Amino acid sequence: MEVQVFDISGKAVKKVNLPESIFGVPMNEGLLHAVVKGYLANKRQGTHATKTKGMVSGGGKKPFKQKGTGQARQGSTRSPLMPGGGKAHGPQPRDYREHLTRTAKQSALRVALSDKARHGKLLVVNDFSISSYNTKHVVKALGSLKTPSALLSDERKDDFLYRSARNIHGAGVVSPAEMNAEHVLRFESLVLSENALNALQQRFEGEKA
């Protein structure tokens, strides 16, 4: 698959070939759903909790006499039926983590990348040309590339791109080494630098070995 390479002003400068093994994979909705669901589940803290009737303080005394009041009998103010009582069947702390195999995560990323390329939502730039913390520079580049909601990826040793884009609504930054299917699908477009594209190819070749 051949795609245009742009500069940050949106001008086409050349073309590159995308490897079919990474960007030409058929859609697999079941795999994407399972893997993205796993990523989202693994982010959950699972610290939610409510007090049961055994955790609520008080309740040692019967709230009112058994008979003659016209109300249902109650033995404790801690009952879920009483105001201020415990919660019946409420959430308790639990671990939501799901095990994802390396093969599944790698395959899901290939599917997500291929879907972006197939629908014209993958853009390759020769260089982001950023050498300092400059949010206006990134905003202007996104406007020129016509990608208001985009995930940016570059192989860098500094954090200029990350810190310049982190406050832009609809934009995100991830390194090629940390990219996963959930990152790619969260944004409408994916913008890769040529360095990021090469790093992704090396990553997949390394995982295959």
Domain boundary (95, 130, 160) is at 95
Looking at residue 22, its amino acid is: I
Q: What is the DSSP letter of 60?
A: -
Are both 131 and 146 inside the same structural domain? yes
Residue-wise pLDDT for 151-178, tens only, equals: 999 999 999 999 999 999 999 999 999 9
Q: Note whether 127 and 164 are same-domain residues.
A: yes
Asked if residue 175 and residue 88 are part of one domain, the reply reads no
Beta pairing, strands 2-6 & 12-17 = antiparallel
Residue 82 CB: number of other CB atoms within 10 A? 16
Which residue range(s) make up the domain with 84?
45-95
CA 51 → CA 91, 141, 158, 184, distances in Å? Answer: 9, 52, 47, 39
Task: Determine contact, residues 10/1, Cβ cutoff 8 Å.
Answer: no
- 22 shares a domain with 33: yes
CATH number of residue 189's parent domain: 3.40.1370.10
Check: CB of residue 37 under 8 Å from CB of residue 182: no
Q: Are residues 145 and 173 in the same domain?
A: yes
Q: How many domains does the chain have?
A: 2
Tens of pLDDT, residue by residue over 73-121, are: 999 999 999 999 999 999 999 999 999 999 999 999 999 999 999 999 9
**Angstrom distance (rounded) from CA 98 to CA 116:** 26
Question: Is residue 76 located within the same domain as residue 121?
Answer: no
